[in-house]
Chain A
Amino acid sequence: MARVQIAFQDNDESRYIVSAIEEDNPDSTIHYEPALIRIENEGSLQINKATVEAHMGREWDVQSIHVNLVTLTGNIDEDDDYFKLAWGGQ
Protein backbone atom coordinates (compact mmCIF):
# COMPACT_ATOMS: atom_id res chain seq x y z
CA MET A 1 0.00 0.00 0.00
CA ALA A 2 1.35 3.42 -0.94
CA ARG A 3 1.38 6.47 1.28
CA VAL A 4 -0.78 9.52 0.75
CA GLN A 5 0.41 12.91 1.88
CA ILE A 6 -0.99 16.35 2.63
CA ALA A 7 0.76 19.52 3.81
CA PHE A 8 -0.53 22.76 5.30
CA GLN A 9 0.99 26.10 6.10
CA ASP A 10 2.01 26.10 9.74
CA ASN A 11 -0.45 28.55 11.30
CA ASP A 12 -3.19 28.71 13.92
CA GLU A 13 -5.96 27.53 11.64
CA SER A 14 -3.99 24.57 10.28
CA ARG A 15 -3.11 23.41 13.77
CA TYR A 16 -6.77 22.57 14.40
CA ILE A 17 -7.08 20.81 11.06
CA VAL A 18 -3.96 18.79 11.87
CA SER A 19 -5.17 17.83 15.33
CA ALA A 20 -8.48 16.72 13.78
CA ILE A 21 -6.56 14.62 11.26
CA GLU A 22 -4.55 13.12 14.09
CA GLU A 23 -7.73 12.14 15.90
CA ASP A 24 -9.41 10.60 12.86
CA ASN A 25 -6.27 8.97 11.44
CA PRO A 26 -4.39 7.70 14.50
CA ASP A 27 -1.72 5.91 12.42
CA SER A 28 -0.70 8.98 10.45
CA THR A 29 2.77 10.48 10.80
CA ILE A 30 3.12 14.23 11.26
CA HIS A 31 6.27 16.10 10.25
CA TYR A 32 6.90 19.67 11.37
CA GLU A 33 9.11 21.37 8.79
CA PRO A 34 10.04 25.04 8.44
CA ALA A 35 6.75 26.90 7.87
CA LEU A 36 4.76 23.78 7.02
CA ILE A 37 3.18 20.72 8.57
CA ARG A 38 3.26 17.55 6.45
CA ILE A 39 1.11 14.52 7.22
CA GLU A 40 1.57 11.06 5.76
CA ASN A 41 -0.57 7.99 6.06
CA GLU A 42 -0.62 4.53 4.55
CA GLY A 43 -3.26 4.11 1.85
CA SER A 44 -5.69 6.87 2.72
CA LEU A 45 -6.36 9.85 4.93
CA GLN A 46 -9.65 11.48 5.84
CA ILE A 47 -10.46 14.94 7.15
CA ASN A 48 -13.91 15.24 8.72
CA LYS A 49 -15.76 18.53 8.96
CA ALA A 50 -17.29 17.59 12.33
CA THR A 51 -13.92 16.78 13.92
CA VAL A 52 -12.28 19.95 12.59
CA GLU A 53 -15.20 22.01 13.91
CA ALA A 54 -14.95 20.34 17.30
CA HIS A 55 -11.27 21.29 17.48
CA MET A 56 -11.74 24.81 16.14
CA GLY A 57 -14.84 25.56 18.14
CA ARG A 58 -16.52 27.14 15.13
CA GLU A 59 -18.01 26.29 11.76
CA TRP A 60 -15.53 25.16 9.11
CA ASP A 61 -16.31 24.83 5.40
CA VAL A 62 -14.45 21.88 3.87
CA GLN A 63 -13.64 23.95 0.76
CA SER A 64 -11.81 26.51 2.88
CA ILE A 65 -9.09 23.85 3.06
CA HIS A 66 -7.67 25.64 -0.01
CA VAL A 67 -6.63 28.65 2.04
CA ASN A 68 -3.91 26.82 3.99
CA LEU A 69 -3.24 23.82 1.78
CA VAL A 70 0.31 23.49 0.44
CA THR A 71 0.37 20.17 -1.37
CA LEU A 72 -1.11 16.68 -1.49
CA THR A 73 -0.84 13.30 -3.19
CA GLY A 74 -3.53 10.72 -3.88
CA ASN A 75 -6.94 10.67 -5.46
CA ILE A 76 -9.37 13.12 -3.91
CA ASP A 77 -12.90 12.48 -2.77
CA GLU A 78 -14.56 15.61 -1.44
CA ASP A 79 -18.06 16.28 -0.15
CA ASP A 80 -19.79 18.69 2.23
CA ASP A 81 -18.73 16.86 5.35
CA TYR A 82 -15.39 15.25 4.52
CA PHE A 83 -12.25 15.41 2.40
CA LYS A 84 -10.49 12.14 1.61
CA LEU A 85 -7.21 11.18 -0.06
CA ALA A 86 -6.58 7.62 -1.22
CA TRP A 87 -4.54 5.52 -3.59
CA GLY A 88 -6.05 2.63 -5.49
CA GLY A 89 -9.69 1.80 -5.84
CA GLN A 90 -10.68 2.59 -2.26
Chain B
Amino acid sequence: MQAKKLNVKDKYRLLTRDLDWEFSYEDRKEAFPYEEFEGIKITDWDKWEDPFRLTMDAYWKYQAEKEKKLYAIYDAFAQNNGHLNVSDARYVNALKVFLTAVSPAEFASSNGFAWAGRHYGGAGARVAAQMQSIDELRHYQTQIHAMSHYNKYFDGFEEFPHMHDRVWYMSVVKSFFDDCRSSGPFEYIVAVSFAFEYVLTNLLFVPFMSGAAYNGDMATVTFGFSAQSDEARHMTLGLEIIKFLLEQHEDNVPIVQEWIDKWLWRGYRILAVVAMMMDYMLPQKFMSWKEAWELYFEDAGGALFKDLERYGIKMPDFTETIKNEKDHISHQAWWVFYSHGHAAAFHTWTPTAEELDWLSEKYPDTFDQYYRPRLEAAAELEAKGERFYTAGLPQLCQTCQIPMFFTNVDEGKPTEIVYRESTYNDERFHFCSNECKHIFDREPEKYVHAWLPVHQIFQGNCGGGGLDEVMEYYRMGLGEMNLDYKGSPDEKRWKKWKGVA
Protein backbone atom coordinates (compact mmCIF):
# COMPACT_ATOMS: atom_id res chain seq x y z
CA MET B 1 0.00 0.00 0.00
CA GLN B 2 1.24 3.44 -0.85
CA ALA B 3 2.23 5.64 2.08
CA LYS B 4 0.20 8.78 2.63
CA LYS B 5 1.62 11.69 0.65
CA LEU B 6 3.28 14.34 2.82
CA ASN B 7 2.12 17.90 2.48
CA VAL B 8 4.63 20.54 1.34
CA LYS B 9 5.29 21.92 4.81
CA ASP B 10 5.97 18.53 6.42
CA LYS B 11 8.08 17.39 3.53
CA TYR B 12 10.14 20.56 3.71
CA ARG B 13 10.69 20.10 7.44
CA LEU B 14 11.79 16.48 7.06
CA LEU B 15 14.01 16.97 4.04
CA THR B 16 15.81 20.16 5.09
CA ARG B 17 15.69 20.96 8.79
CA ASP B 18 15.81 17.34 9.82
CA LEU B 19 19.05 16.87 7.92
CA ASP B 20 20.80 19.07 10.49
CA TRP B 21 22.40 17.75 13.65
CA GLU B 22 23.51 18.95 17.08
CA PHE B 23 27.18 19.37 17.79
CA SER B 24 27.76 17.09 20.78
CA TYR B 25 31.54 16.69 20.83
CA GLU B 26 32.77 19.48 18.51
CA ASP B 27 32.54 23.23 19.11
CA ARG B 28 29.79 24.61 16.89
CA LYS B 29 31.66 27.91 16.61
CA GLU B 30 34.62 26.17 15.06
CA ALA B 31 32.35 24.49 12.53
CA PHE B 32 30.94 27.88 11.46
CA PRO B 33 33.90 30.21 11.95
CA TYR B 34 32.52 33.11 9.87
CA GLU B 35 29.11 33.32 11.40
CA GLU B 36 29.97 36.11 13.84
CA PHE B 37 32.90 37.98 12.39
CA GLU B 38 30.83 40.44 10.37
CA GLY B 39 29.05 41.59 13.51
CA ILE B 40 25.78 39.90 12.56
CA LYS B 41 23.86 38.42 15.46
CA ILE B 42 21.82 35.27 14.89
CA THR B 43 19.73 34.27 17.88
CA ASP B 44 17.61 31.49 16.40
CA TRP B 45 18.16 29.79 13.06
CA ASP B 46 14.79 28.03 13.43
CA LYS B 47 13.12 31.31 12.58
CA TRP B 48 14.43 30.93 9.03
CA GLU B 49 11.51 30.44 6.63
CA ASP B 50 12.05 29.25 3.11
CA PRO B 51 8.90 30.49 1.41
CA PHE B 52 9.21 28.16 -1.58
CA ARG B 53 9.76 25.14 0.67
CA LEU B 54 11.53 23.44 -2.16
CA THR B 55 13.15 20.15 -1.17
CA MET B 56 16.03 18.57 -3.04
CA ASP B 57 13.88 15.90 -4.71
CA ALA B 58 11.43 18.48 -6.05
CA TYR B 59 14.35 20.70 -7.03
CA TRP B 60 15.92 18.00 -9.19
CA LYS B 61 12.56 17.11 -10.70
CA TYR B 62 11.71 20.62 -11.85
CA GLN B 63 15.26 21.54 -12.85
CA ALA B 64 15.40 18.42 -15.02
CA GLU B 65 12.13 19.45 -16.65
CA LYS B 66 13.49 22.93 -17.34
CA GLU B 67 16.68 21.51 -18.85
CA LYS B 68 14.82 19.11 -21.13
CA LYS B 69 12.73 21.95 -22.52
CA LEU B 70 15.76 24.17 -22.90
CA TYR B 71 17.96 21.66 -24.73
CA ALA B 72 15.16 20.61 -27.07
CA ILE B 73 15.01 24.25 -28.16
CA TYR B 74 18.79 24.51 -28.52
CA ASP B 75 18.71 21.46 -30.80
CA ALA B 76 15.90 22.92 -32.88
CA PHE B 77 17.68 26.28 -33.03
CA ALA B 78 20.93 24.75 -34.26
CA GLN B 79 19.28 22.30 -36.67
CA ASN B 80 17.29 25.09 -38.27
CA ASN B 81 20.18 27.58 -38.57
CA GLY B 82 18.53 29.82 -36.01
CA HIS B 83 21.29 32.42 -36.24
CA LEU B 84 19.96 33.35 -39.69
CA ASN B 85 16.63 34.36 -38.20
CA VAL B 86 17.86 37.11 -35.89
CA SER B 87 16.74 40.61 -36.83
CA ASP B 88 20.21 41.74 -37.88
CA ALA B 89 23.79 40.57 -37.31
CA ARG B 90 24.44 43.67 -35.19
CA TYR B 91 22.20 42.08 -32.58
CA VAL B 92 24.69 39.24 -32.04
CA ASN B 93 27.07 41.77 -30.49
CA ALA B 94 24.78 42.06 -27.48
CA LEU B 95 25.26 38.32 -26.99
CA LYS B 96 29.03 38.76 -27.11
CA VAL B 97 28.76 41.25 -24.26
CA PHE B 98 26.55 38.81 -22.42
CA LEU B 99 28.84 35.80 -22.76
CA THR B 100 32.06 37.64 -22.02
CA ALA B 101 30.81 39.80 -19.16
CA VAL B 102 27.77 38.11 -17.61
CA SER B 103 28.37 34.38 -17.93
CA PRO B 104 31.65 34.33 -15.97
CA ALA B 105 29.76 36.16 -13.22
CA GLU B 106 27.35 33.23 -13.01
CA PHE B 107 30.33 30.97 -12.41
CA ALA B 108 31.74 33.28 -9.74
CA SER B 109 28.35 33.37 -8.11
CA SER B 110 28.14 29.56 -8.06
CA ASN B 111 31.49 29.48 -6.34
CA GLY B 112 30.38 32.14 -3.84
CA PHE B 113 27.17 30.33 -2.90
CA ALA B 114 29.00 27.04 -2.39
CA TRP B 115 31.27 28.82 0.09
CA ALA B 116 28.65 30.96 1.80
CA GLY B 117 26.22 28.04 2.07
CA ARG B 118 28.85 26.01 3.87
CA HIS B 119 29.15 28.72 6.50
CA TYR B 120 25.53 29.21 7.53
CA GLY B 121 24.66 27.51 10.78
CA GLY B 122 21.03 26.99 9.77
CA ALA B 123 20.04 24.06 7.57
CA GLY B 124 17.31 26.00 5.71
CA ALA B 125 19.74 28.68 4.53
CA ARG B 126 22.36 26.07 3.77
CA VAL B 127 20.07 24.06 1.49
CA ALA B 128 18.81 27.21 -0.28
CA ALA B 129 22.40 28.39 -0.89
CA GLN B 130 23.39 24.96 -2.14
CA MET B 131 20.54 24.96 -4.66
CA GLN B 132 21.53 28.40 -5.77
CA SER B 133 25.14 27.35 -6.23
CA ILE B 134 23.97 24.54 -8.53
CA ASP B 135 21.61 26.93 -10.36
CA GLU B 136 24.41 29.38 -11.08
CA LEU B 137 26.57 26.62 -12.49
CA ARG B 138 23.62 25.59 -14.66
CA HIS B 139 23.29 29.17 -15.92
CA TYR B 140 26.96 29.33 -16.80
CA GLN B 141 26.77 26.03 -18.68
CA THR B 142 23.50 26.70 -20.49
CA GLN B 143 24.71 30.14 -21.56
CA ILE B 144 27.89 28.67 -23.03
CA HIS B 145 25.85 26.00 -24.79
CA ALA B 146 23.47 28.60 -26.23
CA MET B 147 26.37 30.72 -27.47
CA SER B 148 28.32 27.80 -28.90
CA HIS B 149 26.05 27.84 -31.92
CA TYR B 150 26.76 31.55 -32.50
CA ASN B 151 30.43 30.89 -31.95
CA LYS B 152 30.47 28.80 -35.13
CA TYR B 153 29.37 31.76 -37.24
CA PHE B 154 30.46 35.00 -35.54
CA ASP B 155 33.66 36.45 -34.07
CA GLY B 156 33.99 37.49 -30.45
CA PHE B 157 32.89 34.47 -28.46
CA GLU B 158 35.79 32.06 -28.44
CA GLU B 159 38.19 33.66 -25.98
CA PHE B 160 35.85 34.72 -23.20
CA PRO B 161 37.60 32.92 -20.29
CA HIS B 162 40.96 34.37 -21.34
CA MET B 163 39.52 37.84 -21.76
CA HIS B 164 37.58 37.82 -18.51
CA ASP B 165 40.78 38.21 -16.48
CA ARG B 166 42.31 40.87 -18.71
CA VAL B 167 40.00 43.12 -20.71
CA TRP B 168 39.12 46.55 -19.32
CA TYR B 169 35.32 46.39 -19.28
CA MET B 170 35.14 42.75 -18.16
CA SER B 171 37.08 43.69 -15.05
CA VAL B 172 34.00 45.65 -13.94
CA VAL B 173 31.93 42.52 -13.39
CA LYS B 174 34.91 40.53 -12.21
CA SER B 175 35.68 43.09 -9.53
CA PHE B 176 32.08 43.03 -8.30
CA PHE B 177 32.24 39.29 -7.67
CA ASP B 178 35.80 39.37 -6.31
CA ASP B 179 34.63 42.04 -3.90
CA CYS B 180 31.57 40.17 -2.62
CA ARG B 181 33.26 36.76 -2.56
CA SER B 182 35.95 38.20 -0.33
CA SER B 183 33.31 39.40 2.14
CA GLY B 184 31.73 37.30 4.88
CA PRO B 185 28.85 34.89 4.15
CA PHE B 186 26.10 37.33 5.17
CA GLU B 187 27.46 40.27 3.22
CA TYR B 188 27.90 37.97 0.24
CA ILE B 189 24.29 36.87 0.23
CA VAL B 190 22.97 40.40 0.78
CA ALA B 191 25.14 41.56 -2.13
CA VAL B 192 24.14 38.85 -4.56
CA SER B 193 20.72 37.58 -3.52
CA PHE B 194 19.24 40.81 -2.36
CA ALA B 195 20.93 43.80 -4.01
CA PHE B 196 21.77 42.13 -7.28
CA GLU B 197 19.10 39.50 -7.75
CA TYR B 198 16.08 40.87 -5.98
CA VAL B 199 16.46 44.46 -7.00
CA LEU B 200 18.49 44.45 -10.19
CA THR B 201 18.69 41.26 -12.29
CA ASN B 202 15.13 41.59 -13.51
CA LEU B 203 16.48 44.41 -15.65
CA LEU B 204 18.84 42.02 -17.38
CA PHE B 205 16.80 38.87 -17.58
CA VAL B 206 13.31 40.16 -18.19
CA PRO B 207 13.21 43.16 -20.57
CA PHE B 208 16.47 42.27 -22.30
CA MET B 209 15.31 38.69 -22.87
CA SER B 210 11.96 39.91 -24.10
CA GLY B 211 14.04 42.04 -26.47
CA ALA B 212 15.97 38.94 -27.56
CA ALA B 213 12.66 37.24 -28.40
CA TYR B 214 11.60 40.33 -30.29
CA ASN B 215 14.82 40.07 -32.31
CA GLY B 216 14.22 36.47 -33.29
CA ASP B 217 16.78 34.93 -30.94
CA MET B 218 15.05 31.79 -29.77
CA ALA B 219 18.11 30.33 -28.04
CA THR B 220 18.83 33.34 -25.87
CA VAL B 221 15.31 34.06 -24.77
CA THR B 222 14.97 30.45 -23.79
CA PHE B 223 18.10 30.26 -21.66
CA GLY B 224 17.27 33.69 -20.29
CA PHE B 225 13.84 32.73 -19.07
CA SER B 226 15.04 29.32 -17.93
CA ALA B 227 17.70 31.05 -15.84
CA GLN B 228 15.22 33.64 -14.65
CA SER B 229 12.87 30.92 -13.39
CA ASP B 230 15.70 30.08 -10.98
CA GLU B 231 16.16 33.78 -10.26
CA ALA B 232 12.60 33.96 -9.03
CA ARG B 233 13.68 31.52 -6.33
CA HIS B 234 16.92 33.45 -5.73
CA MET B 235 15.01 36.67 -5.33
CA THR B 236 12.88 35.02 -2.72
CA LEU B 237 16.01 33.90 -0.92
CA GLY B 238 17.29 37.48 -1.10
CA LEU B 239 14.18 38.88 0.49
CA GLU B 240 14.12 36.12 3.07
CA ILE B 241 17.72 36.65 4.15
CA ILE B 242 17.10 40.37 4.61
CA LYS B 243 13.97 39.85 6.68
CA PHE B 244 15.65 37.11 8.68
CA LEU B 245 18.72 39.22 9.53
CA LEU B 246 16.57 42.22 10.45
CA GLU B 247 14.27 40.17 12.65
CA GLN B 248 17.09 38.35 14.41
CA HIS B 249 18.60 41.38 16.16
CA GLU B 250 18.24 45.15 16.00
CA ASP B 251 22.05 45.50 15.88
CA ASN B 252 21.90 43.90 12.44
CA VAL B 253 19.88 46.78 10.99
CA PRO B 254 22.67 49.36 10.45
CA ILE B 255 25.04 46.67 9.14
CA VAL B 256 22.47 45.42 6.64
CA GLN B 257 21.63 48.99 5.59
CA GLU B 258 25.31 49.68 4.81
CA TRP B 259 25.50 46.50 2.74
CA ILE B 260 22.30 47.32 0.86
CA ASP B 261 23.63 50.80 0.05
CA LYS B 262 27.00 49.52 -1.08
CA TRP B 263 25.83 46.60 -3.18
CA LEU B 264 22.88 48.27 -4.80
CA TRP B 265 25.26 50.94 -5.97
CA ARG B 266 27.86 48.49 -7.22
CA GLY B 267 25.19 46.44 -9.01
CA TYR B 268 23.57 49.53 -10.46
CA ARG B 269 26.91 50.67 -11.92
CA ILE B 270 27.32 47.35 -13.75
CA LEU B 271 23.89 47.76 -15.31
CA ALA B 272 25.15 50.70 -17.38
CA VAL B 273 26.21 48.09 -19.91
CA VAL B 274 22.73 46.52 -19.92
CA ALA B 275 21.27 49.99 -20.49
CA MET B 276 23.42 50.30 -23.59
CA MET B 277 22.51 46.79 -24.78
CA MET B 278 18.82 47.63 -24.60
CA ASP B 279 18.93 51.06 -26.19
CA TYR B 280 21.62 50.52 -28.83
CA MET B 281 22.14 46.83 -29.52
CA LEU B 282 18.62 45.51 -30.14
CA PRO B 283 17.82 46.36 -33.77
CA GLN B 284 14.12 45.70 -33.13
CA LYS B 285 13.26 48.07 -30.32
CA PHE B 286 10.92 46.91 -27.63
CA MET B 287 11.35 48.89 -24.43
CA SER B 288 13.86 51.60 -23.59
CA TRP B 289 16.27 51.29 -20.70
CA LYS B 290 14.49 54.17 -19.01
CA GLU B 291 11.11 52.44 -19.26
CA ALA B 292 12.54 49.18 -17.97
CA TRP B 293 14.21 51.03 -15.11
CA GLU B 294 10.98 52.74 -14.14
CA LEU B 295 9.04 49.48 -14.20
CA TYR B 296 11.51 47.13 -12.56
CA PHE B 297 13.42 49.44 -10.26
CA GLU B 298 11.30 52.45 -9.40
CA ASP B 299 7.98 50.58 -9.25
CA ALA B 300 8.96 47.11 -8.07
CA GLY B 301 11.97 48.26 -5.99
CA GLY B 302 9.91 51.07 -4.50
CA ALA B 303 7.28 48.59 -3.28
CA LEU B 304 10.01 46.44 -1.80
CA PHE B 305 11.61 49.26 0.18
CA LYS B 306 8.24 50.39 1.39
CA ASP B 307 7.75 46.87 2.76
CA LEU B 308 11.14 47.00 4.49
CA GLU B 309 10.40 50.33 6.22
CA ARG B 310 8.87 48.48 9.14
CA TYR B 311 12.34 47.11 9.95
CA GLY B 312 13.95 50.56 9.81
CA ILE B 313 15.47 50.05 6.36
CA LYS B 314 15.31 52.96 3.95
CA MET B 315 15.95 53.52 0.27
CA PRO B 316 19.63 54.39 -0.26
CA ASP B 317 20.49 58.09 -0.28
CA PHE B 318 21.66 57.88 -3.89
CA THR B 319 18.16 57.05 -5.17
CA GLU B 320 17.87 60.59 -6.52
CA THR B 321 21.16 60.27 -8.43
CA ILE B 322 20.15 57.07 -10.17
CA LYS B 323 16.82 58.61 -11.02
CA ASN B 324 18.63 61.52 -12.65
CA GLU B 325 21.02 59.23 -14.48
CA LYS B 326 18.40 57.08 -16.21
CA ASP B 327 18.13 59.60 -19.05
CA HIS B 328 21.87 59.49 -19.68
CA ILE B 329 23.78 56.30 -18.93
CA SER B 330 22.88 54.20 -21.97
CA HIS B 331 24.02 56.99 -24.31
CA GLN B 332 27.19 57.63 -22.34
CA ALA B 333 28.11 53.95 -22.16
CA TRP B 334 27.54 53.43 -25.89
CA TRP B 335 29.78 56.37 -26.67
CA VAL B 336 32.57 54.93 -24.52
CA PHE B 337 32.39 51.62 -26.38
CA TYR B 338 31.97 53.30 -29.77
CA SER B 339 34.99 55.52 -29.25
CA HIS B 340 37.03 52.64 -27.78
CA GLY B 341 35.66 50.24 -30.38
CA HIS B 342 39.19 49.15 -31.30
CA ALA B 343 39.64 47.70 -27.80
CA ALA B 344 36.30 45.90 -27.41
CA ALA B 345 35.55 42.28 -28.26
CA PHE B 346 32.39 43.23 -30.11
CA HIS B 347 31.43 45.61 -32.89
CA THR B 348 29.99 49.07 -32.45
CA TRP B 349 28.24 51.38 -34.91
CA THR B 350 26.32 54.62 -35.24
CA PRO B 351 22.56 54.12 -35.00
CA THR B 352 20.46 54.30 -38.19
CA ALA B 353 18.19 57.28 -38.82
CA GLU B 354 15.17 55.34 -37.52
CA GLU B 355 17.07 54.28 -34.43
CA LEU B 356 18.08 57.86 -33.72
CA ASP B 357 14.44 58.91 -34.00
CA TRP B 358 13.41 56.16 -31.60
CA LEU B 359 15.99 57.35 -29.08
CA SER B 360 14.76 60.94 -29.47
CA GLU B 361 11.24 59.78 -28.78
CA LYS B 362 12.20 57.71 -25.72
CA TYR B 363 14.55 60.33 -24.26
CA PRO B 364 12.85 63.63 -25.07
CA ASP B 365 14.67 65.55 -22.33
CA THR B 366 18.22 64.58 -23.17
CA PHE B 367 18.85 62.79 -26.44
CA ASP B 368 18.49 65.58 -28.99
CA GLN B 369 20.25 68.04 -26.78
CA TYR B 370 23.28 66.04 -25.64
CA TYR B 371 23.72 62.77 -27.49
CA ARG B 372 22.25 62.92 -30.98
CA PRO B 373 24.62 65.63 -32.26
CA ARG B 374 27.64 63.61 -31.19
CA LEU B 375 26.40 60.46 -32.94
CA GLU B 376 25.55 62.43 -36.07
CA ALA B 377 29.00 63.97 -36.09
CA ALA B 378 30.49 60.48 -35.74
CA ALA B 379 28.39 59.27 -38.68
CA GLU B 380 29.62 62.20 -40.78
CA LEU B 381 33.24 61.38 -40.02
CA GLU B 382 32.55 57.77 -40.85
CA ALA B 383 31.03 58.75 -44.20
CA LYS B 384 34.27 60.58 -45.01
CA GLY B 385 36.22 57.43 -44.20
CA GLU B 386 37.46 58.84 -40.90
CA ARG B 387 35.66 56.62 -38.41
CA PHE B 388 36.46 58.03 -34.96
CA TYR B 389 38.47 56.01 -32.44
CA THR B 390 39.91 57.76 -29.43
CA ALA B 391 43.67 57.56 -29.09
CA GLY B 392 43.72 57.75 -25.30
CA LEU B 393 42.89 55.26 -22.60
CA PRO B 394 40.15 56.15 -20.12
CA GLN B 395 40.73 56.84 -16.45
CA LEU B 396 39.06 54.13 -14.36
CA CYS B 397 37.22 54.40 -11.08
CA GLN B 398 39.18 52.65 -8.33
CA THR B 399 36.04 51.05 -6.92
CA CYS B 400 33.78 50.02 -9.81
CA GLN B 401 36.56 50.04 -12.46
CA ILE B 402 34.26 51.72 -14.98
CA PRO B 403 35.78 54.43 -17.17
CA MET B 404 35.00 57.88 -15.84
CA PHE B 405 32.11 58.87 -18.05
CA PHE B 406 29.28 59.56 -15.61
CA THR B 407 28.30 63.20 -15.55
CA ASN B 408 27.13 65.61 -12.93
CA VAL B 409 23.40 65.27 -13.52
CA ASP B 410 22.64 65.89 -9.85
CA GLU B 411 23.75 69.49 -10.16
CA GLY B 412 22.18 69.93 -13.58
CA LYS B 413 25.53 69.72 -15.40
CA PRO B 414 25.08 66.73 -17.70
CA THR B 415 28.12 67.55 -19.81
CA GLU B 416 30.57 67.73 -16.91
CA ILE B 417 32.23 64.44 -15.92
CA VAL B 418 32.24 63.64 -12.21
CA TYR B 419 35.71 63.23 -10.69
CA ARG B 420 36.12 62.38 -7.01
CA GLU B 421 39.28 61.47 -5.16
CA SER B 422 40.59 60.23 -1.81
CA THR B 423 44.07 60.05 -0.39
CA TYR B 424 45.09 56.94 1.48
CA ASN B 425 48.64 56.25 2.72
CA ASP B 426 49.87 59.26 0.72
CA GLU B 427 48.49 57.84 -2.49
CA ARG B 428 45.68 59.42 -4.48
CA PHE B 429 42.76 57.34 -5.76
CA HIS B 430 40.07 58.36 -8.25
CA PHE B 431 36.35 57.68 -8.35
CA CYS B 432 33.42 58.11 -10.71
CA SER B 433 30.95 59.16 -8.04
CA ASN B 434 30.41 60.09 -4.40
CA GLU B 435 29.15 56.56 -3.77
CA CYS B 436 32.20 54.78 -5.18
CA LYS B 437 34.37 57.15 -3.12
CA HIS B 438 32.32 56.36 -0.02
CA ILE B 439 32.69 52.60 -0.59
CA PHE B 440 36.46 53.04 -0.89
CA ASP B 441 36.72 55.30 2.17
CA ARG B 442 34.86 52.73 4.26
CA GLU B 443 37.25 49.87 3.40
CA PRO B 444 40.26 51.33 1.56
CA GLU B 445 42.47 48.28 2.07
CA LYS B 446 40.05 46.28 -0.02
CA TYR B 447 40.52 48.46 -3.10
CA VAL B 448 44.03 49.91 -3.04
CA HIS B 449 45.45 46.88 -4.84
CA ALA B 450 42.68 46.59 -7.44
CA TRP B 451 43.97 45.32 -10.81
CA LEU B 452 42.93 48.24 -12.99
CA PRO B 453 43.31 47.27 -16.65
CA VAL B 454 44.32 50.72 -17.88
CA HIS B 455 46.99 51.09 -15.19
CA GLN B 456 48.25 47.66 -16.11
CA ILE B 457 48.56 48.63 -19.79
CA PHE B 458 50.56 51.73 -18.83
CA GLN B 459 52.77 49.66 -16.56
CA GLY B 460 53.59 47.40 -19.50
CA ASN B 461 51.85 44.33 -18.10
CA CYS B 462 49.50 43.76 -21.03
CA GLY B 463 51.75 42.67 -23.85
CA GLY B 464 53.28 46.08 -24.54
CA GLY B 465 52.40 49.71 -25.14
CA GLY B 466 50.98 49.56 -28.67
CA LEU B 467 47.40 48.83 -29.63
CA ASP B 468 48.47 45.78 -31.64
CA GLU B 469 50.31 44.33 -28.68
CA VAL B 470 47.43 44.87 -26.27
CA MET B 471 44.98 43.36 -28.79
CA GLU B 472 47.22 40.34 -29.07
CA TYR B 473 47.36 40.07 -25.28
CA TYR B 474 43.55 40.26 -25.22
CA ARG B 475 43.40 37.74 -28.14
CA MET B 476 41.02 39.98 -30.06
CA GLY B 477 42.97 40.29 -33.30
CA LEU B 478 42.77 43.78 -34.81
CA GLY B 479 39.85 43.95 -37.25
CA GLU B 480 38.33 40.62 -36.27
CA MET B 481 36.36 40.88 -33.02
CA ASN B 482 36.74 44.64 -32.69
CA LEU B 483 36.29 47.85 -34.74
CA ASP B 484 33.11 49.00 -36.45
CA TYR B 485 30.43 46.56 -37.55
CA LYS B 486 30.63 48.09 -41.01
CA GLY B 487 33.38 46.29 -42.87
CA SER B 488 33.73 43.57 -40.25
CA PRO B 489 34.06 39.86 -41.14
CA ASP B 490 30.73 39.39 -39.30
CA GLU B 491 29.01 41.82 -41.65
CA LYS B 492 30.55 40.25 -44.76
CA ARG B 493 29.41 36.77 -43.76
CA TRP B 494 25.92 37.98 -42.84
CA LYS B 495 25.47 39.69 -46.20
CA LYS B 496 26.65 36.60 -48.00
CA TRP B 497 24.17 34.38 -46.14
CA LYS B 498 21.38 36.83 -46.75
CA GLY B 499 22.31 37.29 -50.39
CA VAL B 500 22.75 41.07 -50.20
CA ALA B 501 25.62 43.00 -51.69
* The residue from A4, A9, A62, A78 contacting B51, defined by CB atoms under 8 A apart: A78
A residues within 8 A CB of B122? Answer: none
Residues of chain B lying within 8 A (CB to CB) of residue A70: 205-206, 225, 228-229, 232
A50 at the interface (CB under 8 A from B): no
Contacts of A34 in B (CB 8 A): 210-211, 213-214, 286
Q: In the complex, given contacts A66-B232, A88-B307, what are 13 additional A-B residue pairs having Cβ atoms less than 8 angstroms apart?
A: A2-B303, A7-B206, A9-B225, A35-B210, A35-B221, A63-B8, A63-B54, A66-B66, A66-B233, A67-B66, A76-B52, A78-B53, A87-B303
Find residues 298-319 in chain B having any chain A CB closer than 8 Å to their own CB: 299-300, 302-304, 306-307, 310
Nearest to B236 among chain A residues (CB) is A76
Contact B306 A87 (CB under 8 A): yes
Tell me, yes or no, whether B62 is within 8 Å of chain A by CB. yes
Query: What mask results when residues 47 to 88 of chain A are scored 1 for a CB within 8 Å of chain B, else 0?
Result: 000000000000000111011111111111111100000011
Chain B neighbourhood of A67, CB < 8 A: 62, 65-66, 69, 229
A/B interface sample: 28 pairs, CB < 8 A: A2-B303, A2-B306, A7-B206, A9-B225, A34-B211, A34-B214, A35-B209, A35-B210, A35-B221, A36-B210, A63-B8, A63-B58, A64-B65, A66-B62, A67-B62, A67-B66, A69-B229, A70-B232, A71-B205, A71-B232, A73-B300, A75-B239, A75-B307, A76-B236, A78-B51, A78-B53, A80-B8, A87-B306
Interface string of B208-249 (1 = CB under 8 A from A): 011101100000010001001101110110010000000000
Which residues of A are at the interface with B, using a C-beta cutoff of 8 A?
2-5, 7, 9, 33-36, 62-64, 66-80, 87-89
Which residues from chain A contact B211 at a C-beta distance below 8 Å? 34
CB distance from B10 to the nearest CB of A (A): 10
Known: A34-B211, A63-B8. A69 touches B302 (CB 8 A): no
Given the known A-B contacts A35-B209, A69-B232, are A4 and B225 also in contact in the complex, defined by CB atoms under 8 Å? no
**Which of B229, B231, B304 has the most C-beta atoms of chain A within 10 angstroms of its own C-beta?**
B229
Interface string of B350-376 (1 = CB under 8 A from A): 000000000000000000000000000
The binding surface of chain B is classed by DSSP as helix
CB of B7 within 8 Å of the partner chain: yes
Contacting pair B62 A79 (CB below 8 A): no
Closest to B218 in A: A35
CB distance from B140 to the nearest CB of A (A): 19
Nearest-CB residue, chain B, relative to A3: B303
Tell me whether A3 and B299 are in contact (CB under 8 A): yes
Residues of chain A within 8 A of B287, CB atoms compared: 33
A43: nearest chain-B partner, CB-CB: B303
A89 proximity list for chain B (CB < 8 A): 310
Cβ of A36 and Cβ of B206 under 8 Å apart? yes
